[in-house]
């Protein structure tokens, strides 16, 4: 609908929301919020309108439509809460990210409900969203912040939810992250957002905690995540489909019909109430005001405007996404040829890249724990990974290893130990699922191993504390990156599921022709406490002899080289290294071998 564009906040955002009576909800608070911004920033109107008019003028041009290039937007969700209900779960937050990704890719399951007369206009924006894995300081993050507050309800006019000093949470750099706040908003407002051209301190999206995502605290009829979809549309520059006016004012988009006013509830297509300005209203558009279950689509030209806004006004988001959306936190995936992934869950272990997912949002999840002797505890050392029972809720809890790279033709093993809690006189079977996944979530599972009705009671008086060892061989997944996930899905009112001493190992056998013959190299004593002797007895002179000692994290802690070496012995002082397992990699021209070395003090 493109008829008359009026570039003033008073007209474009004239208050045309539901007539608000006591306790009535306001679907979108942009009108009120932008009036407050105009009062605070005198050039706000000019900045917003100049960007909108620029984007609207080119929105219909083919180069700004879906093009096969998918833009990824790094997101941080700021949970500002005064009570436990407002402190929404990770699972509820992830459900909202899932909705955004489906809606902005035109992959939402209800898009098939778009009426035939508009079906050819429904478009894939090719915009996706990720919870940031790297924060503005370069540290790893979940992309979620949690701020306890004494503020009962946040004002749309003061924007205090966005300010540390006023009981809210100040934004991460809004040029690099889409900041989304969730909390209690004053006045029955479901959400509001800022368009391109907004001052940085106010830029972002705010959604009430009972209208966010699809589970947890989300309430009908706003429990399908569409409040956030609507507000993110505003964040990318879209305006309400009726232009916040009447038939003489529009939204600046060519392929949306003129519309007299907003729609509410869940209208019936073709009914007299859904026609205005001489045509059928597109009430199922995400930028109208219908219930969540009755909005399904963006149009081609809406997509063109949003993509133009991303490319020209919010392009720093795309640059930052290369780091902020890297699931490894910028570190890259582990190369198992340089050493295995090993985790004993001990104090001082490197937990970088490990993650926990409380998928059902209750108050129980996997934790590193010393246990409660003599009923449960670690296999070795002082700590293990433990999921302990909920009286009322079945478990749905995950933890994931860091990612590692796998290659076709190589062989990999996952090794770990498990046990269950031991309450004498009682039996508590536990359920465990171990998966290979393309992401640290349950959404991209490649393979699964089930361990049902486990009864392996912890006993500190038995070998290995009565833990059971497991070795799983990974199938060939091609050349890709993998995470291993451990999923406890035990019934309610069980006891404890325990995991310890995880290893992810490349066990590929070096071909005989490329392996150093056993008689050509020996290392002893093993275990060793001080000097490791390496005897070499090659049948020819080795032009380049290269020796690495690698710890269990894959870090090379010693290296040395020799040229034109054939027969002799070298000594390696390991007295300063902590007790543990290491790998000695020896490269002799085109041949190599690896030997496990145990340092024991």
Residue the block writes with tokens 């349950």: 442
Asked if residue 210 lies in contact with residue 92, where contact means CB atoms within 8 angstroms, the answer is no
Phi and psi at residue 294, in whole multiples of 5°? -120, 15
Alpha-carbon gap, residue 51 to 56, rounded angstroms: 9
Could you please report the per-residue DSSP string of 233-257? HHHTT---TTTTS-TT---S-TTS-
Q: Strand 367-369 vs strand 355-358: parallel, antiparallel, or unpaired?
A: unpaired
Residue 221: asked if its preceding bond is cis (omega within 30°), the reply is: yes
Q: Based on C-alpha coordinates, what's the Rg of the chain?
A: 30
Residue 374: asked if its preceding bond is cis (omega within 30°), the reply is: yes
Of 86, 231, 383, 430, which is the active-site residue? 231
- Tell me how crowded residue 545 is: count the other CB atoms within 10 A of its CB: 20
* CA angle, residues 569, 571, 574, in degrees to nearest 5: 155
Query: How far is CA 528 from its chain centroid?
Result: 43
Whether 560 is a known active-site residue: answer no
Alpha-carbon gap, residue 73 to 92, rounded angstroms: 19
Asked if residue 490 lies in contact with residue 395, where contact means CB atoms within 8 angstroms, the answer is yes
Could you please report the per-residue DSSP string of 179-195? EEEEE-BGGGB-EEE--
Q: Strand 521-524 vs strand 496-506: parallel, antiparallel, or unpaired?
A: unpaired
Residue the block writes with tokens 């879209």: 238
The two most distant CA atoms of the chain are separated, in Å, by 96
Residue the block writes with tokens 């543990």: 580
Give the residue numbers annotated as catalytic, written as ranges: 231
């Amino acid at each position: 609908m493109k008829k008359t564009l009026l570039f003033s906040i008073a007209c474009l955002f004239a208050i045309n929301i539901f007539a608000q009576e006591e306790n009535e909800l306001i679907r979108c608070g942009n009108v009120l919020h932008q009036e407050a911004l105009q009062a605070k920033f005198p050039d706000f109107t000019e900045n917003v309108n100049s960007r909108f008019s620029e984007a609207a003028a080119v929105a219909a041009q083919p180069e700004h439509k879906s093009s096969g290039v998918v833009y990824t937007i790094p997101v941080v969700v700021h949970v500002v809460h005064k009570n436990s209900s407002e402190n929404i779960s990770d699972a509820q937050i992830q459900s909202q990210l899932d909705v955004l990704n489906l809606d902005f890719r035109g992959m939402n399951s209800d898009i098939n409900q778009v009426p035939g007369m508009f079906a050819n206009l429904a478009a894939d924006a090719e915009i996706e969203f990720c919870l940031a894995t790297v924060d503005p300081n370069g540290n790893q993050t979940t992309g979620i912040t949690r701020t306890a507050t004494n503020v009962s309800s946040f004002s749309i006019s003061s924007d205090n939810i966005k300010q540390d000093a006023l009981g809210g949470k100040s934004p991460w750099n809004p040029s690099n992250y889409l900041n989304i706040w969730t909390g209690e908003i004053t006045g029955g407002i479901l959400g509001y957002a800022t368009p391109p051209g907004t001052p940085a301190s106010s830029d972002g999206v705010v959604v009430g905690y009972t209208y966010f995502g699809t589970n947890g605290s989300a309430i009908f009829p706003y429990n399908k995540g569409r409040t956030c979809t609507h507000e993110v549309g505003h964040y990318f520059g879209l305006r309400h489909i009726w232009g916040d006016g009447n038939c003489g004012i529009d939204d600046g988009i060519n392929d949306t019909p003129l519309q007299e006013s907003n729609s509410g509830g869940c209208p019936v297509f073709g009914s007299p109430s859904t026609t205005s300005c001489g045509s059928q209203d597109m009430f199922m558009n995400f930028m109208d005001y219908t219930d969540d279950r009755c909005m399904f689509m963006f149009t081609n030209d809406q997509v063109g405007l949003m993509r133009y806004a991303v490319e020209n006004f919010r392009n720093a988001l795309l640059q930052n996404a290369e780091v902020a959306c890297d699931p490894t936190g910028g570190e890259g995936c582990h190369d198992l040829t340089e050493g295995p992934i090993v985790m004993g869950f001990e104090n001082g272990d490197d937990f970088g890249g490990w993650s926990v997912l409380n998928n059902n949002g209750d108050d129980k999840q996997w934790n590193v724990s010393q246990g409660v002797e003599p009923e449960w505890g670690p296999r070795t050392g002082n700590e293990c990974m433990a999921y302990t029972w909920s009286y009322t809720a079945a478990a749905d809890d995950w933890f994931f290893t860091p990612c590692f790279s796998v290659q076709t033709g190589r062989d990999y093993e996952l090794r770990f130990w498990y046990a269950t809690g031991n309450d004498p006189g009682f039996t508590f079977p536990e359920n465990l699922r171990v998966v290979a996944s393309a992401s640290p979530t349950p959404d991209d599972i490649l393979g699964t191993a089930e361990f049902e009705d486990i009864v392996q009671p912890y006993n500190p008086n038995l070998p290995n504390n009565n833990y059971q060892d497991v070795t799983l061989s990974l199938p060939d997944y091609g050349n890709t990156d993998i995470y291993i996930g451990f999923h406890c899905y035990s019934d309610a009112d069980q006891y404890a599921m325990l995991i310890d001493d995880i290893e992810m190992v490349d066990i590929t056998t070096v071909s005989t022709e490329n392996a150093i013959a056993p008689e050509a190299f020996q290392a002893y004593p093993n275990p060793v406490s001080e000097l490791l002797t390496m005897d070499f007895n090659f049948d020819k002179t080795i032009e380049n002899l290269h020796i690495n000692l690698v710890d269990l994290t894959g870090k090379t802690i010693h290296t040395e080289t020799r040229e034109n070496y054939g027969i002799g012995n070298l000594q390696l002082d390991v007295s300063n290294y902590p007790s543990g397992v290491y790998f000695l990699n020896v490269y002799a021209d085109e041949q190599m071998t690896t030997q496990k070395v145990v340092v024991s003090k």
